[in-house]
Amino acid sequence: MTCSHSSPPGYAFCGTCGEVLPHARCRCGFVAAVHDAYCGRCGAALVVGGDATLQHAVMDADRRFDLEHLAEQAAQENKFLETTHKARVTQDDIRKLLAKRRKKF
């Protein structure tokens, strides 16, 4: 990067000069910093392999708006969302958990 401006996490481009920042994209679509080991949104491991080299699926600038690539990404995200078990927590569940916690302390 030529401007050496520090950009916040989640930025794919420098907010000052517009240059592409080194980043990795998780399968959930979150833009992570290259040095991140886990996704900031879903917690999935971003490091693959034992040799400590980052093997992220970095999105090339030319493919950002490629419709085939975007359709492929959407299909992968839908598969991921279908396989993720979502827990449903109600207000009553939260009250019960807080009551149990108060009893412990």
**Mean pLDDT, rounded, of the chain:** 71
Report pLDDT digits (tens) over 41-59: 888 887 644 333 334 344 4
Residue 70: enclosing H or E segment and its boundaries? helix 67-83
- pTM for the model stands at 0.34
The DSSP letter of residue 16 is T
Helix and strand numbers (H, E) in the chain are 2, 2
Sketch the domain layout of the chain as residue ranges: 23-104
- 82-101: average pLDDT: 75
- Give the pLDDT score at 12: 73
Cβ(43)–Cβ(50) below 8 Å: no
Report pLDDT digits (tens) over 4-23: 777 777 677 888 888 887 77
Six-digit token pair at 81? 């969302």
